[in-house]
Amino acid sequence: MSVLEEKEDGHQLAADVEALYGLAVDLWGADHLVLKGAKLGIMDLINSSDLGERVLGLEKIVFQNPTLDKVPGHKEIPQALDKIKEEISSQMARRITEDQIERMINEKIADRQDEYIQDIKRQVLAEQGGVENAATQEKLNKLEKMEMVSLGRSAMEKLRPQKIEEVIGQAQGVKSLLAKIVSPFPQHVILYGPPGVGKTTTARLALARAKEMGTSVFGPEAPFIEVDGNTLRWDPRDITNPLIGSVHDPIYQGAKRDLADSGVPEPKLGLVSEANGGVLFIDEIGEMDDLLLNKLLKVLEDKRVFFESSYYDPEDPAVPAYIKQIFETGVPADFILIGATTRSPGEISPAIRSRCAEVFFSPLTPEDIKAILAASVEKLQVQCEPEVIDIIAQFTIEGRKANNLLADAYSRALLRQVGVTEGNLTITTADVQEAIQSSRLTPYVLPKNREGGKIGAIAGLGVAGFLGSLIEIEAVAFPVKQDVEGREAAKKSSAQGKIRFNETAGSMAKDSVFNASSVFRLITGEDLGKYDVHINVVGGGNIDGPSAGVAFTLAVYSAVTGKKIRQDVAVTGEISLQGDVKPVGGIPEKLYGAMQAGMKTVLIPKDNEKDVPADLQGIQVIPVETIWQAMEYAVYQE
């Protein structure tokens, strides 16, 4: 570049700097600019004859940064001026936008001045007169006094597990639920199990544990929203829906007055929105209305709740911004659903089951009940006689019910030992017996002698819901014709015997009896028609299924041959005409029932071997494939 060109370039840069100073004066005003310059201590830079120093002063004013101290060189000045131009243009555009908004506000005020004046008048009147009077103030004082009264925690709150490690008897269920909650990809879950085994408590504690783990998606403030499915009902008018949410239209009672007066519908958010980012726990989810359940499934898919109202007008300026956003984009409802039920899986909607992982909680064993009671005694800080825990364990299989009985006995001990200091109170067997008699309870499992053998008597296994039980089956057999020659005469007779069986047992059980009669002939080669056989299910009841087939066969075999059956063995399995033992359902529950009844050994079908719980203890489980194998373990072969 020549000297002349450099001179012309310098003149152009100086002109640009003067122009930018002029824009700054237009933007902030000359007085304001001088004040800013004095405050920043840059008046010497502004008035300098050096172009670089003037540019530095302009930078400090425009960017309001007094720490800038580098004087740009001749080659750096154009780049500095470009940045200054960009900042000045941005601020001028902001000023123009602010002026436009201010004009619009003034226009709105002019258009709706009368309405605003009326609002102000109403506000002034409310402030002068107020809504309070002597009667309302008295009720407020009464309410505040009520808030100051507290009876403390109930016994159940004190005895409830506070950590997930305190949940007893549900090691597999707890582990399975935690695995599904702490994962970076958590799953919706349905918890199955009998009442009082800790489903609700475990769900609450599982979320608390998930918050502590780095792999979890739940934040520290993740909510746990709990509701009972029995209380949730479908409202076909959609006026109220505490689960999903609803819209209070202006004409309906319950809409806010300020919204109703302007004809604006008011959305009411439901529990699914309150649970956003956390867990929605629905106890007894199997009791929910099908239509409401379908609404819930839609929310699970969308992870949002959408509202509709014929009164909503998106062009209405009276609609608040939050209501407009609710109607146009919906409300977030991203949560993990945990449902609990005492129903069997077959009674739950297939639609909800397909979206949820399933976790099964086991019935509590007597040992589990004793462990729960021992922990509760420690929390209550009391002493108890050794028999107290054993007695309570005989009368319930529910942890909650066991704690209720203990709390009742604790209260009776307090009443009996007035003035005893904490830690010295003793719960006696008499206290527990009084509590049991007061509740009209009977032993859940009557103690039975399971030693030795009996002819024609065998223990089968049944299941109802999540609980297994012992089915006592007995059989007797008599020759068709008894005379002085006794059994030999009966063998020569052509008369046919009869098989009698409980009428209430059901058609499938009768089919099992007929199968047993054929298998008896297969085993012995002898025709059962030579005997009158009576088979009885002690206590009656309907046997829904073929799983007592093996038990019937062994009972008939013992009754006819006179061989004794071991009384500490229980059996389950369907019998085929070829003598094969076929698989049946409910194996975990049946094993639990056998343990409750004091059985030492259970015979199950070989094909059900995979259904035996891995952590099963205290009972021997023997898989069998044929009736001959079952006879080896169940019948004394002397």
CB-CB neighbours of 618 under 10 Å: 12
Active site residue 590: yes
Q: Which entry of 481, 547, 558, 564 is annotated as an active-site residue? A: 547
Half-sphere exposure of 226 (CA within 13 A, CB side): 11
Residue 89's alpha-carbon distances to 24, 86, 92, 393, in angstroms, are 10, 5, 5, 83
**CB environment 308-333: b (16+ within 10 A), e (fewer):** ebebbeeeeeebeeebeebbeebbeb
Q: CA-CA distance, 255 to 139, in Å (whole number)? A: 24
Which residues, other chains included, contact 245 with Cβ-Cβ below 8 Å and sequence gap of 6+? 267, 268, 269, 270, 272, 273, 305, 307, 331
Active site residue 49: no
Say which amino acid occupies 405: L
Residue 401's alpha-carbon distances to 16, 230, 392, in angstroms, are 89, 21, 9
Q: CA-CA distance, 205 to 400, in Å (whole number)? A: 17
Q: Are strands 357-360 and 189-192 parallel, antiparallel or unpaired?
A: parallel
Q: H helices of 288-354, where?
A: 290-302, 321-329, 350-354
Q: CA-CA distance, 612 to 296, in Å (whole number)? A: 35
Residues facing residue 427 across a β-bridge:
384
Look-up: residue for tokens 């059994």?
487
3-state secondary structure 32-69: HHHHHHHHHCCHHHHCCCCHHHHHHHHHHHHHCCCCCC
Q: CA-CA distance, 364 to 168, in Å (whole number)? A: 8
Residues taking part in catalysis: 547, 590
